[in-house]
Structures are given as C-alpha cells and as structure tokens.
C-alpha cells in the first residue's frame, strides 16, 4: 500500500486547503469488539486534534467529509448517532475554536438534516462568524454529484431567465455555482487525504479535486494523528504540481 511512510522536515509550502475523507471508524471499533458508534465517537476526538494541528500548520481551509448523501443508507441507529455528533462536537469545542480564531462553515444539504443538527450547525457558524483564521469546513449531507446537479440547475435557471448567455459559461461560472464558492480563493483542495487504506474518492468534491494531490494512508481515522498529518503534508511537498503544464 502506498503511504505516508516516508517523512522529513516540512518546508514552508503548506497546502492552503486540505480536504480529508475520514474513513475507518467502523473498523477501528470492530478491532476492539466495540459497536461502530464507538469508532465515530473516537473519530470526533480526532477531528478536534487534527483541526488544531492543521491550524498550527497554517492551513487556510480544512474540509472534512462528515456525512455523505449516501450515508443515509446506514442502519438508523448509526445515522441517528452521527446526526447527534455535530451537537456534541460544537457544545464542547466551540470555545476552543474561538480561542484559535477558527471559523466554522458547513456545506451540504443542511436543510434536510434533523432540526437539532441544523440548530447545532447554525449556532456554531454564528458563534465563530467573527473568526478570521482557518475555516473548518464540514461536508454534511454532501455529495459531489448532487452538488454538481444543483449547480447545473441554478445555471440553467439563469439561462432560462435570459440572465446568462450559454456561450459565456466558463469554469468560473461553475465554481461560483458550487457549495465551495464561499471559500474562494481556496475553493479547491491542494491536498486530499483519505484514511483507512481505501483508495476511492466516494463522491467527494468531484469538480474541485481536478488538480489536487491525493495521499492515502492506512491509518484508521480514530488513529490519525498530528504526526501522520505532517507525513501526508510531507508527501504533498515531494510532488511536482504542474496543473497540466510543464515545470
Ligand atoms: C467513515 O468511517 C466515517 C463516517 C461516515 C463518519 C465520519 C464522522 C466522524 C469522523 C465523526 C466526526 C463528525 C463531526 C461532525 C464532528 P466508516 O464508518 O465508513 O468506517 P468503516 O469503513 O471502517 O466501516
């Protein structure tokens, strides 16, 4: 398995936007003969640690895939537990986020979440609205294809109203119609990490990762650490990003 095994001193080329597919909570729990939700609970603690690590590194946006539009297919008890996690997380962590000047953002179909989840999310966004440092961006009830479908619907509506000439649709038109538009100039991740050894994108940020560097690590999300994050950044720094051009 390819991995973030090699490591060394980091240089100043820190990825401005890091996105993470936090995978392996269930397997972490299974290995300990615990229910799957124990893995999600431990995963929440890892979110706290890694938020602070990314902030300390100088990352501008940290996007975390917390719940996908496909995760509703899981058993109802697990879905319910996951829906209560944002409340638990923000109740205990918002003061630390404010102290660290971290602003919370959420992207996804938030209005389709239970009321208590929406409330927790909206309060955290409001409570950290004045923070000017790193953006902690949760993808919650998010799916890359659904996001693109919504963007196409919005663009088509503008065309139908004669507000937009189809010939003038550019990459930028699409960028601006996506859920990451508010993160500009850091809308696209520089580095995408997936934990747990799986090497898939799983419907995450399909448009935005066109030129992202991908790093896969075997560590399960609850075990993911500051040291492992730094190894992933080190891997990123060894890559030669060309964006389709020549170096
Ligand atoms: C994938 O592991 C993980 C999820 C679907 C949920 C991610 C949620 C957290 C890490 C908790 C933090 C959330 C907030 C809002 C603070 P999996 O269950 O698919 O693991 P498996 O592949 O080993 O079964």
Cα separation, 129 vs 67, in Å, equals 23
Cα separation, 44 vs 231, in Å, equals 21
Number of domains in the chain: 1
Looking up tokens 């955290």 gives 124
Establish if 242 belongs to a structural domain: no
Looking up tokens 């090699």 gives 6
**Structure token pair of residue 13:** 């080329």
| Res 207: pLDDT | 98
Reply yes or no on whether 71 is catalytic: yes
| Res 1: pLDDT | 46
CA distance between the termini of the chain: 28
Q: Which of 3, 71, 154, 203 is catalytic?
A: 71
Cα separation, 124 vs 14, in Å, equals 27
CATH number, residue 57: 3.40.1180.10
| Res 94: pLDDT | 98
Establish if 189 belongs to a structural domain: yes
- Which residue ranges have their beta carbon within 6 Å of ligand 1? 22-27, 40, 43-44, 47, 66, 71, 82, 85-86, 89, 138, 196, 221
Establish if 86 belongs to a structural domain: yes
One digit per residue, the tens of pLDDT, for the chain of length 247 reads 445 567 889 999 999 999 999 999 999 999 999 999 999 999 999 999 999 999 999 999 999 999 999 999 999 999 999 999 999 999 999 999 999 999 999 999 999 999 999 999 999 999 999 999 999 999 999 999 999 999 999 999 999 999 999 999 999 999 999 999 999 999 999 999 999 999 999 999 999 999 999 999 999 999 999 999 999 999 999 998 788 888 7
Domain boundaries, position 117: 15-237
Element (H or E) spanning 132, and its range?
none
Counting ligand 1 atoms within 8 A of each CB, the residue from 218, 221, 222, 224 with the most, and so the one to mutate, is: 221
Q: How many A from CA of 67 to the centre of ligand 1?
A: 7
Length of the chain equals 247
Distance of CA 244 to the CA centre of its chain: 25
Q: How many A from CA of 235 to the centre of ligand 1?
A: 24
Establish if 1 belongs to a structural domain: no
């Amino acid at each position: 398995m390819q991995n973030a095994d090699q490591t060394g001193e980091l240089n100043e080329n820190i990825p401005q936007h890091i996105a993470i597919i936090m995978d392996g909570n269930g397997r972490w729990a299974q290995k300990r003969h615990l229910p799957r939700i124990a893995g999600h609970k431990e995963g929440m603690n890892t979110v706290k640690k890694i938020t602070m690590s990314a902030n300390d590194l100088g990352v501008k946006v940290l996007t975390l895939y917390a719940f996908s539009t496909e995760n509703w297919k899981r058993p109802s008890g697990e879905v319910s537990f996951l829906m209560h996690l944002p409340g638990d997380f923000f109740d205990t962590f918002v003061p630390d986020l404010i102290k660290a000047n971290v602003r919370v953002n959420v992207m996804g179909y938030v209005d389709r979440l239970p009321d208590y989840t929406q409330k927790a999310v909206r309060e955290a966004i409001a409570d950290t609205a004045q923070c000017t440092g790193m953006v902690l961006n949760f993808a919650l009830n998010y799916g890359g294809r659904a996001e693109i479908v919504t963007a196409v619907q919005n663009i088509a509506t503008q065309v139908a109203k004669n507000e937009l000439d189809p010939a003038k649709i550019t990459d930028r038109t699409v960028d601006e119609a996506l859920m990451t538009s508010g993160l500009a100039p850091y809308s696209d991740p520089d580095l995408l990490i997936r934990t747990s050894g799986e090497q898939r994108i799983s419907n995450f940020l399909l448009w935005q990762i066109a030129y992202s560097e991908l790093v896969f690590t075997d560590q399960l999300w609850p075990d993911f650490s500051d040291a492992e994050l730094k190894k992933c950044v080190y891997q990123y720094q060894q890559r030669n990003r060309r964006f389709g051009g020549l170096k």
